[in-house]
Chains A and B, each alone.
Chain A
């Protein structure tokens, strides 16, 4: 009656239509159907939606499901990447290749003021960098194009304050999130009404866990950025985090020397702010194995979450995704 994961893993070769359905556990099939339902709601109810594309694994799953939701048509919204100019080079290459292969419109936005001011994560600090190049930049892009709904790949299991996030998260005209003004979400009946100038952030993967995401990527054979797979990479160790030296802009401290270590990333963001983990997982199967045995949370590698207590909640109130 039931398919264990071991069985699911072996179903990688058969014809596409068979594999996808045979490979999904009832649990994943239900999560997928829920995400499709949410995406169709947005397409039907909003004037000008956009899908935020962060290039990470969750975004990859979101894109894949969007293809399913509107098949045989194309998703009726563009992709938006808020580029901080400090993403891993492999992420940017993967982003452009993905957009090209899918034939989707990709909007890339960089905060011009931040760029002019020379904001960077080293000299400006991670808080200011995130505030200007991510949070402010995202607001600029949403305003510039007049998007009234923006999909994001955030999940409720990522962080404590996300546990109460709505699937349809209401933002005021200044893109602010007020915990007390969020609407109760009942059944699968989403209140999509907004006043002019207001917008909605929509999280179709709200109910997924990190394990679900990787099991799904494996079952559906979804391409992800190679940085997720273990490889010898040049890293330095800072404050307990392994930071990859991705380009020449990274200032090295006196006596600091990049070493080649076999590492991979559990989450992807700006390279100076994203810690690697030592790992031998070179395949999707190995990543899933590693994850099932792991005792550390994925956001452990994120430098910005540790800025202060409840820091994610503060960032969200300011309009961070």
Chain B
């Protein structure tokens, strides 16, 4: 090479890619020649520059596994650590283009982290190249890759039968492998499977038809990638516009910015805010390049509506005649990506569209065997496990089934403590109250409470059994009643005789007990009441989930901090005695632990004062929060 970089005089300008962008992923192991195939694709399409090629020649001599030949695998095995180990440890993205199309390749490794990496690569891919070593045929790993591709919504597959040179370009061997694969893949529901005999190392049927396989008259690999039709299905579906950012630069402009996740929107279209149920009409589609008449799935625009409806980040503007599901319980496929096993009942953050909401996996319906595609029973999901689960969210989420719309049906779960992304999720269907679309009522909580000259408030007493929760709640209600407040009491034992009569005392039942009590309290808040709730509620996470269901300032947590010895000595219901006799297996304070709140709004030291004095303290604390004839938005925010 010339010592000084000199750029050649312009050659004829190639046409820019005519068919937009195709994103695909490659599945296979190093042994199948996957990295070699990608290196070959980059080389054949001119995506490797001379200086990179020179470095490759040098590296091939040093680290290569191909004797004196160029080792294309070295081009794509990027990080130092993996070059030393000879494996790829993460998803890498490669770019190349031909005169007809641009491509982004997700290069996903085939070793033990395959599921997690493949799911990541597949999430943005429209097609998968499944690599088979012609000498080995369809392996367990081939099936695994195919199942994961199918589960993550890939519809098009290229079966690249590689190293065809090593089986003497044998037509019968190729046909046998294809027949084998077809027999297995039939149940996976791919829209297209195109088998191609290739040699990544020597370039047969990669960019040009190979004279060595004269019996093959199908497309070359590059030829098929250029031509394959992947559905532009998102544009055909109903309008979905997740609000990403409310654009409010001044008082005269209020727009909703976001990327269309489905369908088409036109000026004049009626839209519904899916969560609130309010409808309006699109008056402008604003972009920097001028207003537009229409926008389609994938376009990033700003919509202006005719009415001042509330549509914060996380809301989904949709076609009112074809609404998405709005539900707080859903069935979904999960790909588990964390070293920590999935814990049903534990609270995670669910990120779906532009919305983030706390969520709990309620049950695991089944785990999917990635080698056979069969479902089996499972109590948990470990790293790289795939299963169908039921999820509860603390507030309703707006979604479509993933198989209908990948953009509105996909979600991730995030660990609340480490912030790690622990799962990829694909919504299957809404459970429970499906097709329930909230009606926006005109008389709201503040209006109802205002008539009572108070503000709604939930006061949650938590503490050991026998700590005095019910006693104090009773005294507090008497005092508030005397002050003219409209109140009610929810008591754990009362609810367990009615609404919660079906629940036991295991952790899952306790969580559900608290959840239902919280939901009842919310309804009572809607009615404008001050609700005093007395529940042991021993699990901190349950109480935290509860708090998230209330607006700031509407929920007060009171910790009745009575030492366990005192509770046991009082034992008003004789429960401690029974538990110590072993007659109650799951009694908080004896058999099960109690997790005190970390930052309660109020702590009552029951050893230091009597119930009467403690009730006074509660009233003094909450009365300022209840008083005030009417509640304005500013007040509410200030609380």
Contacts and interface: CB of A to CB of B under 8 A. Distances in A.
Nearest to B19: A2
Given A25-B17, A72-B249, A237 B4 contact: yes
Given A294-B49, A296-B7, A21 B419 contact: no
21 contacts: A3-B16, A5-B15, A27-B21, A27-B102, A30-B21, A40-B257, A44-B244, A44-B245, A70-B249, A73-B248, A156-B93, A156-B95, A186-B412, A186-B424, A187-B124, A206-B93, A215-B16, A277-B7, A296-B50, A300-B5, A301-B5
Nearest to A209: B95
Interface string B1-42: 001111111110111111111000000000000000000000
From A44, A184, A215, residue with most partner B Cβ within 10 Å: A184
A293 to B, nearest CB: 4
Nearest to B409: A187
A20 B290 CA distance: 9
Contacts of B545: none
A26 B286 CA distance: 19
Contacts of B253: 72-73
From A191, A209, A215, A280, residue with most partner B Cβ within 10 Å: A191
B163 interface: no
B351 A191 contact: yes
A240 B4 contact: yes
Contacts of A240: 3-5
Interface string A151-179: 00000110011011000000000000001
Contact of A71 (B95, B119, B302): B302
How many A residues are at the interface, by size bracket? 35 or more
B441 interface: no
Given A33-B300, A163-B92, A296-B5, A5 B247 contact: no
Contact of A289 (B13, B412, B419): B13
Contacts of B76: 163
B406 interface: yes
A209 B287 CA distance: 24
Given A17-B290, A193-B419, A294-B8, A187 B257 contact: no
Nearest to B46: A295
B91 interface: yes
Contacts of A313: 79-80
A185 B90 CA distance: 11
A74 interface: yes
Given A6-B15, A20-B289, A179 B5 contact: no
Nearest to A31: B21
A16 to B, nearest CB: 7
B5 A8 contact: no
Contacts, number: 221
Contacts of B10: 286, 289-290, 292-293
A288 interface: yes
Contacts of A32: 300
B419 A292 contact: no
Interface string A5-42: 11010000000111011000111001111001100110
A157 B93 CA distance: 8
B218 interface: no
B300 A207 contact: no
Nearest to A32: B300
A19 B298 CA distance: 20
Given A30-B298, A156-B95, A189-B412, A183 B420 contact: yes
Given A68-B288, A156-B95, A194-B419, A186 B123 contact: yes
